[in-house]
């Protein structure tokens, strides 16, 4: 389809492009089991790097693809024909839609350059739509961060642990694009109201997903350290203080400067009442605050261990210290395995575990029944 967009003036066939996009949207709704309409479709069609799902609308790509192709083949085309009517019209349509200045001459052969202005325009429209809603503002800022969409780039391979269940994928998609994922109800654990977006489950203290997510993240870190030739153990003995506080894991061998590594993981809710205001102003603020709390909590270990506070958010953002540690761990994995994409794969695994925990946290708030067990139960 991209070849067709680049090789012909498809932007003249607006109705046909809209029909194609409508079919794409219907297929996306069927696959994800999420109702996608209006503003959620606008976000879903953005690139992953801009907070979308990467399912692009051909109606939006038509002019960037054509303009980039014209500039990339200008020398050959000028030798064949002198007509510029189609190009001029396409340029006018692009300027009307993007409201931006023309890209530099040297970059005009790149489709991404033309497309970027349209993407930014769409992002502005979405943010203006939710400008008075701090929850959606915090969500939009979070999903724009590079690490938040890593689960969308992972190959679904069961043997690698990167295959998400249908329900986990459905909830992850709904949370990312701000689509309804459940009917309003009362949380079965704490009896507080849960809206159609299911955000309550992400911060409910009784949610089962919080503990499973915490354990899964720690296990990914431990396995990565072992692969990087730094054996580590979880819940180590002999490292607690007078208040019985101890980190989630400790390496068995020195990590840096002859000191062993100690780490502690936390995953805070981006849109929790205590975090949503700061998260709507700057992405990652909830994780940064959690990182500071971890440093204070384990300051007694600073003289003996290299402590790494690993703070994540439910919408995928990581704290600065966490990203610094993961980059170093990714570099060590690359040296140990020879795989150049080790850091990327590590981020994907962590991102997937966060989404799985989110899905379980959201679905565990829904009242549960006995199912068929009650039918076959005989006293």
Q: Quick: pLDDT tens for 4-48.
A: 999 889 989 999 999 999 999 999 999 999 999 989 999 999 999
Q: Exposure of 13 by Cβ count < 10 A (0-12 exposed, 13-18 middle, 19+ buried)?
A: middle
pLDDT tier at 158, thresholds 50, 70, 90 = very high
Q: How far apart are CA 59 and CA 45, in angstroms?
A: 11
Q: What pLDDT does residue 64 have?
A: 94
Q: How far apart are CA 236 and CA 248, in angstroms?
A: 7
**Residues contacting 80, CB < 8 A, separation 6+:** none
**Cα dihedral 198, 199, 200, 204 in deg (nearest 10):** 120
Coil, helix or strand for 241? coil
pLDDT tier at 242, thresholds 50, 70, 90 = low
Q: Exposure of 300 by Cβ count < 10 A (0-12 exposed, 13-18 middle, 19+ buried)?
A: middle
Q: How far apart are CA 310 and CA 379, in angstroms?
A: 50
Q: How far apart are CA 346 and CA 326, in angstroms?
A: 8
pLDDT exceeds cutoff 90 at 79: no
Q: What pLDDT does residue 78 have?
A: 67
Tens digits of residue pLDDT in 244-263: 688 999 999 999 999 999 99
- pLDDT, mean of residues 94-120: 92
What percent of the chain is predicted at pLDDT more than 90? 79
Q: What pLDDT does residue 83 have?
A: 56
What are the tokens at 265?
Answer: 């993981």
pLDDT tier at 189, thresholds 50, 70, 90 = confident
pLDDT tier at 379, thresholds 50, 70, 90 = very low
pLDDT exceeds cutoff 90 at 238: no
Q: Could you tell me which residue, 193 or 244, shows the higher pLDDT? A: 193
Q: What pLDDT does residue 368 have?
A: 73
pLDDT exceeds cutoff 50 at 302: yes
Q: What is the mean pLDDT of the chain?
A: 91
pLDDT tier at 119, thresholds 50, 70, 90 = very high
60: nearest Cα among 15, 29, 17: 17
- pLDDT, mean of residues 182-203: 93
- pLDDT, mean of residues 197-218: 92
Q: Which of 26-35, 103-112, 295-304 has the highest mean pLDDT?
A: 26-35
- pLDDT, mean of residues 221-239: 92
Q: What is the pTM of this model?
A: 0.91
pLDDT tier at 153, thresholds 50, 70, 90 = very high
- Long-range contacts, 49-56 (Cβ 8 Å, 24+): 49/144, 49/146, 49/149, 50/119, 50/123, 50/144, 51/123, 51/140, 51/143, 51/144, 51/148, 51/149, 51/176, 52/177, 53/28, 53/152, 53/173, 53/176, 53/177, 54/152, 55/24, 55/28
Q: How far apart are CA 322 and CA 217, in angstroms?
A: 12
Strand segments (E) across 235-284: 249-256, 259-268
246: nearest Cα among 219, 265, 273: 265
What percent of the chain is predicted at pLDDT more than 70? 93
């Amino acid at each position: 389809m991209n070849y067709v967009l680049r090789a012909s003036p498809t932007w003249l066939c607006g109705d046909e492009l809209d029909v194609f996009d409508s079919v794409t949207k219907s297929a996306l709704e069927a696959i994800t089991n999420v109702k996608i309409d209006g503003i959620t479709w606008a976000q879903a069609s953005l690139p992953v790097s801009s907070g979308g799902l990467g399912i692009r609308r051909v109606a939006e790509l038509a002019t960037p693809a054509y303009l980039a192709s014209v500039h990339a083949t200008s020398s050959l085309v000028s030798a064949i024909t002198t007509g510029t009517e189609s190009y001029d019209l396409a340029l006018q349509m692009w300027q009307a839609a993007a409201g931006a200045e023309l890209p530099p001459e040297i970059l005009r052969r790149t489709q991404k350059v033309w497309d970027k202005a349209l993407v930014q325009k769409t992002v502005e429209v979405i943010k203006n739509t939710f400008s008075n809603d701090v929850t959606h503002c915090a969500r939009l800022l979070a999903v724009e961060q590079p690490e938040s969409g890593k689960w969308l780039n992972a190959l679904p391979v069961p043997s690698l642990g990167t295959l998400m269940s249908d329900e986990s994928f459905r909830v992850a998609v709904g949370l990312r694009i701000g689509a309804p994922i459940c009917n309003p109800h009362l949380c079965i654990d704490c009896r507080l109201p849960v809206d159609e977006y299911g955000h309550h489950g992400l911060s409910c203290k009784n949610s089962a997903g919080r503990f499973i997510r915490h354990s899964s993240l720690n296990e990914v870190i431990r396995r990565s350290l072992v692969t990087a030739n730094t054996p580590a153990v979880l819940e180590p003995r002999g490292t607690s203080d007078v208040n019985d506080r101890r980190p989630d894991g400790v390496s068995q061998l020195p990590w840096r400067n002859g000191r062993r590594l100690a780490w502690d993981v936390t995953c805070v809710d981006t849109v929790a009442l205590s975090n949503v205001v700061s998260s709507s102003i700057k992405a990652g603020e909830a994780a940064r605050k959690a990182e500071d709390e971890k440093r204070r909590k384990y300051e007694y270990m600073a003289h003996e261990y290299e402590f790494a506070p690993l703070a994540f958010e439910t919408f995928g953002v990581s704290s600065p210290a966490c990203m610094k540690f993961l980059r170093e761990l990714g570099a060590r994995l690359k040296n140990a395995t020879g795989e150049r994409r080790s850091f990327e794969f590590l981020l994907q695994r962590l991102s997937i575990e966060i989404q799985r925990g989110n899905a379980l946290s959201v679905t565990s708030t829904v009242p549960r029944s006995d199912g068929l067990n009650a039918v076959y139960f005989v006293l």
